[in-house]
Structure 1
Amino acid sequence: MTPIAAVTAFALALASSAPVAISQEKRTMDIREPEQLYRGDLVSFPGPWAFQIGRAHVILVSDQDLKDLSDPDRVLNLSLTFDKQEASLRQLCERAQAAGHRTLILAFDHFFSQYRPGQNRPRELTPDMDEYIERIAAISKFAQQYGIGLELSLLSPLELGPAYSKQSGQSGIWLQYRKGYRDPTTGAYAVQMWRQNRWAHNKGVVTVTPTRVRVFAFRESEVSGTSYRVVPPESIVEISDTAIVTPMDGEKPDSPMHRILVRGEGRTDLASHNRILAVQEYRTPEMDYFSPDALPYMKRLLDKYAAAGVKLNGLYADEMHIQQDWNYFGHHDNGEFAMRYVTPSLSRLYAERYGAEYSDLAKYMVYFAYGQEDWASNVTAKDGVMHVFGSSPEDIRRTALFRARYYRLLQDGVTDLFVDAKRYAEKLAGHRLESRAHATWAESPTIDRWRTGSDRMYRHAYEYTSNFVWSNTVHQAASACYDYFKWGDFLTGNGNDHAECGWLDRNYVGLALACSTGILNDVPYSYGAHWGMPDAVSHRRMALVNTFGAAGSPLWGLVQDMQHRDVDVLMLYPMDL
């Protein structure tokens, strides 16, 4: 063989073997447990067809609900609307068995406490506690007599935390930031901010624990003709030892937040540092999702459920986000959502990937600060001022990339952690676990803010006209749930709730998004839900759902072979903020 022929043969060998190697690696990564295929007397229900199988459900709104359910003959208030519904566990299982159902959904959702007076109390039992597991195991054992497995709200960021923190000493860490003026001569500064005490979401009310306040001095300069302010990273100096924190309205334990004043003076050696950033740190009852201990902890927890004999058919996965408050528009400083999740583990990982200078991300919160110029002596006090690494176009792009990388690391890190835990749960169960839901608790534009006076806001939430105030997209991104596509790695079929609160999806955003996320899913059948509108309007919107094939009427699904309508999507999905 000539040298040229040898090289050619080697190149051809590489060309032919590389795809094989890649495909083998991909097959290894994609190996999953088999689908738990439901077979009736005449037909089976694979993939999206399984969505047509009914499920019994018990939505808990208090610890007492779970305790009462331990008695299979005790009748509980299970109302999900103002129409009262009552049943016992035995009655639910008997009805489910008669209807051919194989799954009982058992999940906690604080949202429905409004329909059950007297049960709106703090929660003490969570799925990562031994007492909770014991009670679930007893319920599962009873349900198995009827051939029924459970769909549990188990692998959810909001459910795992208190026991994790107790065992590991780790927790979630959130940083709240507030920019202010500093007199460069005396070093005097003073800023006010709303210190958080309590958050609430669909898994209940959680206590947020304020810890230390850090203060950073820096210098800034304008980029002419723009709303950018240059803050050289090397100019940021910590001066926390000068800070005095004073409550302004008294320590009110029952209040979800209270006003504090952060003030100080000194460090006159920093004569060019004319601004400060106060950073309030919080500990939250959730996991450090970036800790090397996180996944082993989740696996041990799943082992406990398996050892207790809990039969899992699915994972209840509605609103898969990390700890945050569901208050849409009342959780801000100077009109902006100014909090970010930053644990030491996240900072270390960010620094490993993008540079050692990011090992302490607290001071870099200034590059997230927006529109906090209320101290200014001119009209820029109302500008959407942002901060950048430098004045050149490249510096401005690097700043945007810094923020985008943070959001992507947060979103992907949380999602991948729960995907890995789900795969492990499936191995224990011996089959795939359905987890059908959507990621966010609020959407854009549905839950964005417009000034509409006494008129209902949702009818205006379509165009970004001059009365637009604020977008909740930042809130969702900071809560690791803004990327519907990424959460499709965990969610079965995927879906969205864009047309909620009576928002009519006039431009078909929700339906187009459903088709887009669905076609990329292992089970390519996403939903575009709606609620909060009169029945006559809902009927017409459902006709659109059926037309798009977005998991609408079962009769339409039969005709459409449980598939979306295949159309060109004339919209953009902005991911980077």
Structure 2
Amino acid sequence: MYKKKIFLIIIICLLSGHLFAQNDTEQLLSFPLQWKFSLPKQYIILTSDQQLLDLMDPDKKINTSLNFEQKYESLREIREKAKKSGSKTVILAFDNFFRQYRKDEGAERKLYPDSDEYIAKIKKISDFLAEYNIGLELSLLSPLELGPAFKRYGGEPGRWVHFKTDLRDPETGKFDMMFWEQLAWSNNKGKINLQRSGVRAFAFKEKRLAGGDFFAVNPDDIIEITSGIELEEWQGTESPDEASFRSRRLRIFHKGDGKLKGYDKVFVVLNYTTPEMDYFSPKALPFLENIMKRYYDAGINLNGLYSDEMHIQQDWSYFSHHDNGQFALRYLSQNMILKYAKRYGAEYSNMDKYMLYFVSGSKPYLKTTRANRNSQIVMGDTSEEINKTFLFRDRYYKLLNHSVVDLFVSAKQYAEKLYNKDLLTRAHATWAQSPTIDDWAMGLLSSSRHRYEYTSNFVWSNTVHQAAAACYDNFKWGEYLTGNGTDHPEGGWSDRNYYGSALACSFGTINKYPNAYNG
């Protein structure tokens, strides 16, 4: 009986927070790794530069709402709340997702983690919290925030390619096609503008294979059209400036020069420059290490790295930036091409034309009833050439996913050596999940409850979109995320989210900190 009383006293003390040293640096109770993520933390989620400026006055209240219930707090109030709860960490990060709950002015960001001004302001906040031995969890190693800084560092920007096929007059060489040119994307780190940086066109011939859904194209028979390409913007179709995703119709055409006779198809590649890193640049890791060193040298007390949605630049719009019903964009920087060709063969050194083998879906220009069927372009008519096509695609996704993860793992390990401690990174990599955020045509029925069985109501899977944003392998991201989790129940139905639960259990089993979350 006496032992039971002692045990109950310990539990009560633990729950009431008395086993935390409130004013000292030493914590009186240690926790197994899997429970460290359950220790209390306070949040300051920014949705504008002005909020960071306001925090320079510790008594000025800012909007800290994380839902439709409005909440205003000052830095001092947050610090006091952290002290009372035994929190040793305050999360301070920018997350555009929460703008929907606030009325902040000024969506454009000018303060980024690499700037001296930003670091000085974070230092001031860090010193204020350090009076109570409270550290910060900051969004420093996020692919979505580092592009402008990398450019100032002398690094190369990101490059995306947008592609489409159409008919070409095999006699004159004329072709005429329409794109939905993409102008702006939005995600949880804000809105970015894309810059059109060129266009290439390739003539080719294809052969329909038995069964009718595979079309063979020999890679050596994809010939670049080097002159005569013209563009026409349809200004009346342009999205309003305030739209989160912006696009317009772009006509790409050729009046014909009589060359490349017999080539009756055209493959057009539209290039975009994006304000993100070239993750394959030899300058990328030194740049990330330099940022972490500057925070360390500034004396900023860092306990963790806010890492929610670690994908590369892409857009929140799930189903509205497609051509012919397919997501036809891929990240493809010059350094990525060099790495792919070095690893898998010099034939891929002109990798733009190989994007043809990502083309799938309908062929609206066909005159048969098969025009609306899903089709796939492959490298030849033999089983080996067909397999080579899918191997090419698989290698592309893995190279992108693994290289981005490895880059940020290396930067995180460097920072942990500087700070001589684990920097916790608990989050998930993607911003959308399959099947709960796939496209389903359910008519008047609730789509959420029907997003699990792949019936004829299924339209399109966002797995393609996620894979293109370096989320092909969520398990690989567990090498960076010390507490890799999943949002798969998002948009789903509560009694059918067993899929997400199973995935979270799998993550939790192999995470460095054996703890995962599900939704």
Q: Same fold (TM over 0.5)?
A: yes
Residue 143 of structure 1 deviates from its aligned partner by: 1.0
The answer to whether the aligner puts 1:309 opposite 2:309 as a matched pair is no
Local SS of the residue matching 1:466: coil
Distance 2:156 2:255 in 1: 34
Task: Say what the alpha-carbon RMSD is for the aligned residues.
Answer: 1.5
Picking from 31, 43, 47, the partner of 1:57 is 43
The answer to whether the aligner puts 1:300 opposite 2:290 as a matched pair is yes
Cα offsets for 1:32-54 (capped at 9, x unmatched): xxxxxx9633x212311212210
Distance 1:114 1:232 in 2: 49
Q: Which residue of 1 aligns with 2:117?
A: 131
Q: Which residue of 2 aligns with 1:354?
A: 344
Local SS of the residue matching 1:418: helix
Distance 1:519 1:139 in 2: 36
Q: Which residue of 2 aligns with 1:44?
A: 30
Note the 1:228-377 alignment, pairs <5 A. 228-250=214-236, 252=238, 254=241, 256-377=246-367
Residue 94 of structure 1 deviates from its aligned partner by: 1.5
Distance 2:353 2:399 in 1: 18
In structure 2, give the amino acid aligned to 1:325.
D
Q: Which residue of 2 aligns with 1:433?
A: 423
Distance 2:142 2:106 in 1: 21
Q: Which residue of 2 aligns with 1:442?
A: 432
In structure 1, give the amino acid aligned to 2:412.
K
Long gaps (5+) in structure 2: 1-24
Cα offsets for 1:189-237 (capped at 9, x unmatched): 0110111110000111111111111111111111121311111000111
Picking from 222, 226, 229, the partner of 2:208 is 222
In structure 2, give the amino acid aligned to 1:503.
W
The answer to whether the aligner puts 1:480 opposite 2:462 as a matched pair is no
Cα offsets for 1:153-179 (capped at 9, x unmatched): 110111111121133151000000011
Distance 1:372 1:348 in 2: 32
Q: How many residues align?
A: 491
Q: Which residue of 2 aligns with 1:94?
A: 80
1:360–1:134 distance in 2 versus 1, CA, 3 Å = farther
Residue 114 of structure 1 deviates from its aligned partner by: 0.9
Q: Which residue of 1 aligns with 2:484?
A: 494
Distance 2:204 2:133 in 1: 65
Contact 2:175 2:256 in 1 (8 A): no
1:48–1:82 distance in 2 versus 1, CA, 3 Å = same
The answer to whether the aligner puts 1:423 opposite 2:428 as a matched pair is no
Distance 2:132 2:206 in 1: 68
Distance 1:522 1:394 in 2: 40
Contact 2:202 2:267 in 1 (8 A): yes
Residue 365 of structure 1 deviates from its aligned partner by: 1.0
The answer to whether the aligner puts 1:70 opposite 2:56 as a matched pair is yes
Picking from 157, 171, 175, the partner of 1:185 is 171
Contact 1:113 1:120 in 2 (8 A): no
Cα offsets for 1:78-136 (capped at 9, x unmatched): 11111111111111112211221100000111011111113361222221222211211
Local SS of the residue matching 2:479: coil
Q: Which residue of 2 aligns with 1:167?
A: 153
Contact 2:174 2:255 in 1 (8 A): yes
In structure 1, give the amino acid aligned to 2:327.
F
Residue 360 of structure 1 deviates from its aligned partner by: 2.0
Distance 1:505 1:216 in 2: 50
Picking from 392, 395, 400, the partner of 1:402 is 392
Q: Which residue of 2 aligns with 1:470?
A: 460
TM-score by length of 2: 0.92
1:197–1:432 distance in 2 versus 1, CA, 3 Å = same
Distance 1:427 1:503 in 2: 43
In structure 1, give the amino acid aligned to 2:248.
H
Distance 1:237 1:223 in 2: 21
Residue 507 of structure 1 deviates from its aligned partner by: 5.5
Contact 2:59 2:74 in 1 (8 A): yes
Q: Which residue of 2 aligns with 1:151?
A: 137
The answer to whether the aligner puts 1:389 opposite 2:379 as a matched pair is yes
TM-score by length of 1: 0.83
In structure 2, give the amino acid aligned to 1:370.
S
Residue 457 of structure 1 deviates from its aligned partner by: 1.3
Contact 2:478 2:511 in 1 (8 A): yes
Give percent identity, aligned residues only: 50
Contact 2:46 2:94 in 1 (8 A): yes
Greater CA drift, 385-394 or 264-273: 264-273
